[in-house]
Chain A
Amino acid sequence: MLKYLFYKDTFFATTAVFVVLGLLAFVPLNFHILDPFKMAMRDFNYNDLAWSEMGKAENQGIDKDIVVVNIGDAARPEIAAILSKVCAGKPKVAGLDVLLEAPRGQEADSLLQSVIKANNNIVLASRLTGEEDNEEYKSNHFATGTTAQGFANFAGEKYGVMRHFVPEREFDGRKVESFASEIVKKADKVAYNELIGRDHKAEVINYSRKAENFLVIDGAELLNNSDIEVFSNKIVLVGYTSNDPNNILDKHYTPTNNIVTGRGVPDMNGVFIHANIVRMIIKGNYISHPPAWFNWLLAFVLCWLHMAIFIYFYIHRHIWFHLAAKAAQLILTIFFIYLGLLLFAKADIQINMTPTLAVVLLAVDVLYFYEAFVVWLQTKTRYKSIFHHETHH
Chain B
Amino acid sequence: MKRITKYLAIFFVLWNTAAMAQSASPHFLVYYVKGKGTLNKAGQISALKKSDNLYQADKITVAKGGEVMLLCAQNSLIKVTAGSYAVKNLISRCKPDGEAFTAAYFHYIWHQMSHHHEKVEDNPEKFMKTAGAVARGKQPVELALPVDTIYYSSGALNINWKEQKLLFKLYADSLAQVTEKTINLEKTLPFGSVAARLEPGSYLWQLCHPDGKECGSLNYLEVIEKQSYNERVISILKQVIKTTDAETAFMSGFLLEQHHFLAEATKYYKQAASLDPSNKIYTNTYYRFL
Contact = CB atoms under 8 A, between A and B. Distances in A.
Interface string B9-51: 0000001101110110000000000000000000000000000
A270 B132 contact: yes
Interface string A165-191: 010010000000001000000000000
A154 B15 contact: no
B77 interface: no
Nearest to A159: B130
Nearest to B128: A153
A17 to B, nearest CB: 16
Given A26-B19, A104-B218, A157-B120, A166 B125 contact: yes
A162 B130 contact: yes
A23 B135 CA distance: 49
B201 interface: no
B1 interface: yes
Contacts of B20: 26
A97 B136 contact: no
Contacts of B124: 155, 164, 166, 201-202
A216 B63 CA distance: 70
A28 B23 contact: yes
Contacts of B15: 23, 26
B175 interface: yes
Contacts of A23: 15
A154 B19 contact: no
A146 B121 CA distance: 33
Interface string B212-241: 001001100000000000000000000000
Nearest to B218: A104
A271 B175 contact: no
A355 B1 CA distance: 30
A27 interface: yes
Interface residues of B, number: 34
A4 to B, nearest CB: 23
Given A28-B18, A169-B125, A98 B130 contact: no
A99 B138 CA distance: 10
B131 A202 contact: no
A131 B1 CA distance: 54
Contacts of B120: 155-157, 163-164, 202
Contacts of B137: 99-102, 104
A154 B132 contact: yes
B287 interface: no
B90 interface: no
A265 interface: no
Nearest to A273: B132
Contacts of B22: 28
Contacts of A100: 135-137
Interface in A140-156: 151-156
Interface string B110-133: 010000000011001111111111
Nearest to A170: B125
A239 interface: yes
B128 A99 contact: no
Contacts of A73: 214
Given A154-B128, A249-B134, A383-B1, A134 B104 contact: yes
A226 interface: no
A200 B106 CA distance: 33
Contact of B128 (A74, A75, A101, A155): A155
B267 interface: no
A158 interface: yes
Interface string B77-115: 000000000000000000000000001100100010000
A166 B120 CA distance: 11
Contacts of B134: 71, 97-99, 239-240, 249-250, 270
Contacts of B18: 28
Contacts of A26: 15-16, 19-20
Q: Most chain-A Cβ atoms within 10 A of its Cβ — which of B75, B127, B131? A: B131
Contacts of B128: 128, 151, 153-155, 166
B72 to A, nearest CB: 13
Contacts of B218: 104
A388 interface: no
B44 to A, nearest CB: 13
B15 to A, nearest CB: 6
A76 interface: yes
Nearest to A127: B131
Contacts of A383: 1
A102 B220 CA distance: 12
A98 B132 CA distance: 9
Contact of A162 (B107, B111, B132, B175): B132
B133 A127 contact: yes
A390 interface: no
Contacts of A169: 125
Interface string A266-291: 00011101100000000000000000
B136 A79 contact: yes
Nearest to B2: A381
A133 interface: yes
Interface string A83-102: 00000000000000111111
A197 interface: no
Residue of A28, A98, A105, A269 with most partner-chain B CB within 10 A:
A28
20 contacts: A27-B19, A71-B134, A76-B136, A98-B133, A98-B134, A100-B136, A104-B218, A125-B131, A133-B75, A151-B131, A152-B133, A156-B127, A162-B130, A202-B124, A252-B130, A269-B132, A270-B131, A273-B132, A377-B1, A383-B1
Interface of B: 1, 4, 15-16, 18-20, 22-23, 75, 103-104, 107, 111, 120-121, 124-137, 175, 214, 217-218
Given A134-B103, A151-B128, 19 more contacts: A23-B15, A71-B134, A75-B136, A99-B135, A131-B107, A132-B125, A152-B132, A152-B133, A153-B130, A155-B124, A155-B125, A156-B127, A162-B130, A179-B133, A202-B120, A270-B131, A270-B132, A271-B132, A380-B1
